[in-house]
Structure 1
Amino acid sequence: MSERTARLPALIDQYASRLENRLIRAAPWQVMQVPTREPIVSFTFDDVPASALDLGAAILEADGVRGTFYISGSLEGRIEPDRTLIDLAGCRELAARGHEIGCHSYAHRDLRHVDGDALVEDLARNARYLDGIDPRPGRRNFAYPYNNGSFGKRSLLADAFRTCRAAGEGINRGPTDPTFLRAVEIRQPQQHVLGLARWIEALVANPGWLIFFTHDISPRPTPYGCTPASFRLLVGYALARGCQVLTVDAALERMGLREQAR
């Protein structure tokens, strides 16, 4: 079997995920109005490597702002070849320092491959885990594992979470589906990271809500992270250009998008 043939199932699945994401964007489940009166930026972290606490959170705090950290309970303390995931004590430290704790599912599986009952159980398990870190009365915010949405699970997610963040390389403005928020990835190579200032310029020129997401913050980042110096420059540039830098939850409140009574 050739290498290309061996990779064919993965390539087909990747294509299917892109197609489903496009279809979800083309047929919004809900619509909220994102105001365009001021530029708002949120910095978010997925999986949450320990370096996101040790370096990422500290960089945000040095500028007096906070971030949103999407946690998967099953990844707690996991040691991988190129990163170590945050442990329970680290999660509690993030919450104590004023950062937002969001949900990234418990098992961190592509939701397209999880049946509805299993997903309900998974989200309930992660809710118990997160409530042990940072209990809250209202709904949390969610980020899709691997940024892959699922048509059939949108109603479940819409009921469980205030917002669900995907990728999509775009700024949220005007009519926006809260179950599939757009976000811009901070990732390698370094040239890509340095070019992200253009998104902040676009936001300042035409305000809305720009959400960045990344993983590790390290002098030797994985392909899905960036260096401390680059992250510091990006946060500082957003503030210097007059953006409001807020957690996802705080951004929703700032925009007047408060929760209805449940």
Structure 2
Amino acid sequence: MRELARALAAAGRVSRGLDRLGRRLTNRIIRATPRDTVHVPEAEAIVSFTFDDVPETALHAGAAILEAHGARGTFYIAGGLAGRVEPDRTLIDAQGCRALAARGHEIGCHTFGHSDLRHLGRRTLAADLARNARYLDAIDPPRGRRNFAFPYNGGSLGKRRQLAARFRTCRAGGEAINRGSTDPAFLRAVEIRQPDAHARGLTRWIDALAAEPGWLIFFTHDIAAAPTPYGCTPETFEALVAHARARGCHVLGVDAALDRMGLREQAR
């Protein structure tokens, strides 16, 4: 039985590794073959702080830190995760989502079921997005198309048209600043994650932005004294937001950043 358990564990690791490889290859192809592009101006330095899944600490600590600096963020919500209690974090429920909206933060879509889009058919994805729209719209009625973040930062070649028609932008990862010709359906972003020394060092991205303006999007998950591997401490998050302000960057949510840059909605 032990040998079988070890074999199954090893097979699981191989499967997850192949899945990550497939995700990276798909993302490379999408970046190399954009469907549409917009021009991100290089006249101003703009920073957006965004949160995926949205643990309670992102509301209680992350949002509060942004507000203390007169800024707001974008919080990508997956309705199917609402109120979920996990070993190292608890995710916000509808009340928490409502509190974010009331305090002026942007609510974005992160699908309902938080599934890798490559493994969903178009009809299944459409139903999932419609379900999340019903969940979010009941809490925070939208003024236009929402912005979207890919679960696991994984794009899908076959879903690009579907997503571009439904959302104003779609955010992935990519570890880069958005400048000049940019695919709005696959925005680049820099992850704030552990170890905390690495997260604190992300001020270098803000310095690079100040030297050569564009649009820098950060993303993270929890903001806690003992963060998960995908979050950071309140002190580190505070340092990043303060540094962006000190370098003269505009700190805006995704929707507000688009408006400031004059990237208006296109006819579909």
Normalised to the residue count of structure 2, the TM-score between the two structures is 0.96
Aligned-pair Cα RMSD in Å: 1.1
Q: What is the aligned-residue identity percentage? A: 68
Residue in structure 2 matched with residue 142 of structure 1 by the alignment: 148
Unaligned runs of 5+ in 1: none
Distance 2:16 2:267 in 1: 43
Distance 1:182 1:190 in 2: 22
Distance 1:188 1:126 in 2: 29
Choose the corresponding residue for 1:254, options 260, 264, 268: 260
Number of residue pairs the alignment of both structures matches: 262
Give, as a single letter, the amino acid of the residue that structure 2 aligns with 1:7.
R
Give, as a single letter, the amino acid of the residue that structure 2 aligns with 1:222.
T
Structure 2 residue 28 is matched with structure 1 residue 22:
yes
Q: 1:132–1:207: structure 2 CA closer, same or farther, 3 Å change rule? A: same
Distance 2:18 2:266 in 1: 40
Distance 1:8 1:85 in 2: 29
Distance 2:106 2:8 in 1: 46
Give, as a single letter, the amino acid of the residue that structure 1 aligns with 2:124.
A
Residue in structure 1 matched with residue 139 of structure 2 by the alignment: 133
Alignment of 1:176-187 (within 5 A): 176-187=182-193
Give, as a single letter, the amino acid of the residue that structure 2 aligns with 1:10.
R
Unaligned runs of 5+ in 2: 1-6
Residue in structure 1 matched with residue 211 of structure 2 by the alignment: 205
Distance 1:155 1:35 in 2: 25
Deviation of 1:137 after TM superposition, in Å, equals 3.3
Give, as a single letter, the amino acid of the residue that structure 2 aligns with 1:205.
A
After TM superposition, what 4+ stretches of structure 1 lie above 2 angstroms from structure 2?
Answer: 1-6
Choose the corresponding residue for 2:111, options 105, 109, 113: 105
Alignment of 1:1-262 (within 5 A): 1=7, 4-260=10-266
Structure 1 stretch displaced more, 75-84 or 252-261: 252-261
Deviation of 1:14 after TM superposition, in Å, equals 1.0
Distance 2:120 2:11 in 1: 26
Deviations 1:37-57 (A, max 9, x none): 010000000000001000000
